[in-house]
Amino acid sequence: MQEPRTAHRVVVIGSGFGGLFATRALRRTSAEVTLVAKTTHHLFQPLLYQVATGILAAGEIAPATRHILRDQRNARVLLGEVTSIDLEARTVTSVTPSGTTTTPYDSLIVAAGAAPSYFGNDRFAEHAPGMKTIDDALEMRGRIFEAFELAELEPDPTLVQRWLTFVVVGAGATGVEMAGQIAELAHRTLKGNFRNIDPSRSRIVLLDAAPSVLGSFGERLSGKATRELEDIGVEVQLGLKVVDVDATGIDVVDGAGKHQRIESVCKMWAAGVSASPLGAQLAAASGAKVDRTGRVEVNPDCTLPGHPDVFVVGDLMALDGLPGVAQVAIQSAEHAADQIARRIRGDDVGLPFRYKDKGSMATVSRFHAVASVGRLRLAGFPAWVMWLVVHLLYLVGFKNRLTTVLHWTHSFVGRGRAERVITSQQVLGRSAIEGARRLPAAPPE
Ligand SMILES: Cc1cc2nc3c(=O)[nH]c(=O)nc-3n(C[C@H](O)[C@H](O)[C@H](O)COP(=O)(O)OP(=O)(O)OC[C@H]3O[C@@H](n4cnc5c(N)ncnc54)[C@H](O)[C@@H]3O)c2cc1C
């Protein structure tokens, strides 16, 4: 008797840009797709800073993955953190608090992304969280809004200033967007909200060891972004290396070795990323190399060396020096899905991945952005409109686009922030804030 023909089993790890777009790209194939991710949502990371600063609700940028894929009959979604990949047995093992699941695959797409990197100083994380997940954004929202609340209660003016000093480390797109929005919050949104403090006297410091803001955008756009940041009240301090971070401040040294301490409770880290530990695991099992941030060096077709059935895409992939941006994740994921679809049809595989650079952009403040698209270099309002349209296009779901437009109108045309809710867990469960509350002010240097 003839064996029943089984469908080609594809396992996708991750529900970010890479994982979601790979799964969707397989919708018209006969493959059975299993997406395994450690969160139940897809996440639009470029707008995390707006959740942190009270502009958007978490659900607007993080819709449920199984809802997005509800009509894709060949896809199922499994919750679980992948702890191991067996390249010989072709299985993926994932865990949840309720147990362990082993999922077999014929083809595997690994899109597990990256996490913040503290360059070997992981102890900084407690006092200067990164911005990679919804948890991070809500934690940051708690820290920012609580800092204003505790400043209002504080009788000692030195301690008030410590609550009202916000430090963002890293002058790339995330750091610039975050610093810009904290400045707008302090100088515009919170006007009239407090009786004892004046939020507009807040100090917002954007720090970087590099010599320029948004360096990858080139000198002209970098200069324009710096001027706009300074106009909205952000203090830009460049060429400074962070040497310590604690509950009440941050220590930096300049190129000449001069030390400076900035007293601040609310600090954020946007300075670097390191790839998911699954990258090191894959490299050890296959003999592939990893780059200095832990990304896996893949073949030109995005496969793991020696394993044509395993694709590594997005932020976890090192190929031709491509940056860790959403378009690389989307296009490499679609390329991997296309290769698998060809394999199922019996066509040739192994086609190299060709990246189409669609440009990059970053917002600095409301109505002001910088954009670099092909030869076009834009700054100010036209770049902001471009940013707005592109971000709306890539947000998942009509309802989310609609409510996002309403929230943007409320925050940018008006002065409101609809999402200022912070829970008692966010406020009281944080050791950094708790610790800082009890510590005296540092004596002047
Ligand atoms: C704050 C911020 C702002 C950004 N702004 C921009 C921007 O303006 N423009 C731009 O182009 N790019 C931007 N990026 C970069 C862009 O978001 C990333 O390049 C993109 O998300 C990478 O997609 P990915 O699928 O590779 O990884 P991710 O989107 O990080 O997805 C990784 C997925 O894997 C899951 N996962 C991780 N480990 C495991 C595991 N062990 N088991 C199961 N699941 C796991 C995660 O939960 C997640 O679902 C920004 C990133 C951040 C953090």
Q: What is the pLDDT of residues 1-10, one digit of tens each?
A: 455 558 999 9
Choice from 45, 110, 217, 360 to test ligand 1 binding pocket (greatest atom count within 8 A of CB): 45
Distance 149 CA to ligand 1 centre (A): 32
Q: Using CA positions, which residue lies closest to atom 33 of ligand 1?
A: 14
Is the shortest distance between the CB of 276 and ligand 1 below 6 Å? yes
CA atoms within 13 A on the CB side of 28: 4
46 lines ligand 1 (CB under 6 A): yes
- Using the predicted structure, report yes or no on whether residue 185 has a pLDDT greater than 70: yes
Tell me the torsion sign for CA atoms 370, 371, 377, 383.
negative
Distance from C-alpha of 360 to C-alpha of 257, rounded to nearest angstrom: 34
Q: Decide whether 9-38+80-115+274-345 matches 122-271+422-436 in CATH topology.
A: yes
Q: Examine the pLDDT at 430 and tell me if it is beyond 60.
A: no
Nearest atom in ligand 1 to 313's CA: 26
Second-level CATH architecture of 122-271+422-436: 3-Layer(bba) Sandwich (3.50)
CA-nearest residue, atom 49 of ligand 1: 15
Report DSSP state, residue 396: S
Alpha-carbon distance values, 372 to 181, 221, 355, 380, 382 (Å): 21, 8, 16, 12, 12
User: Across residues 296-319, what is the average pLDDT?
Assistant: 98
428 or 347, which is more confident? Answer: 347
Over the stretch 224-270, which tens digit does the pLDDT of each residue have? 999 999 999 999 999 999 999 999 999 999 999 999 999 999 999 99
151, containing H or E segment: helix 134-153
Ligand 1 close to Cβ of residue 45 (< 6 A): yes
Catalytic-role residue among 146, 177, 228, 334: 177
In Å, what is the CA distance from 442 to each residue of 261, 302, 430? 10, 52, 21
177 is catalytic: yes
Give the distance, in angstroms, between the CA of residue 436 and the centroid of all CA atoms in the same chain.
27
Instruction: Name the pTM for this structure.
Output: 0.93
CATH topology (fold) of 9-38+80-115+274-345? FAD/NAD(P)-binding domain (3.50.50)
In this predicted structure, the answer to whether residue 437 has a pLDDT above a threshold of 60 is no
Residue 194 pLDDT > 60, yes or no? yes
Instruction: Kindly list the domain boundaries of the chain, sorted by start residue.
Output: 9-38+80-115+274-345, 122-271+422-436
